[in-house]
Structure 1
């Protein structure tokens, strides 16, 4: 009667501890709502290529038709296709921030509640937050680096070591 619901599939890069995963990802509904849905502990990815990022890795990359990743260990998911942003619901208010994780410094526009203070932008009821126009800079030597500039990065707040507002020098 209603037909089949067509969910978007995104080409993504996923950062997990020690690895970079390139894959196709079809979330069960809106991207951020699915990632923040506590009923689902895992995310399913297709056409997967997984590469170690640490320079001293003892394993090579691997390819699999399908792989399931525990959301708790996903540091971030980068959407690689700018035209697909229209398929993602995000908070309208955004501010420039720099975020630091174990392997990366990330600069971009963090989508936050309009009334959030800069020292309290991460709502503890959610794990994943949207950052648009994100630039990802390695802070260590990497065997395989992620795409430097991505239209959207969903960042897991539990992977964040530090963050601060960013102000461009060309004011």
Structure 2
């Protein structure tokens, strides 16, 4: 299966779960630049569960639109589980959504460090009051890192929603 087919399949599956629960979803994206929102809205009928999303590439946007605290950004940086947790909570509140996916990372080719190498991506998830986060380091060029992050975010959302339902 192609990467695009994977993304569409994952977005379709996530949409079905949201429809079953009658829940809405929003995204707060930095390094993926709206890619998760793109795939969510590629699914016919997605307007039943998608109202809005946020592309918050800068720290200023994260603070203004998602209420990420400046202290969090100063202490942990934009690419941190602490920041994406606040991004997810802020997006859910701002969009009045039941579910939020937040992503911040270093897609490259520049910007990495020994502590946070290129390919590092942090994920935050808000699911009806429950907050989770994780981070991974993906291999590949900028586009590959971004696409892997999109698919992981969709897949992880499905897994978290399924676990919450059980």
Q: TM-score, normalised by structure 1?
A: 0.30
Bigger fraction of residues in helix? 2
Instruction: Give the structure-2-normalised TM-score.
Output: 0.31
Which structure has the larger Rg over C-alpha atoms? 1
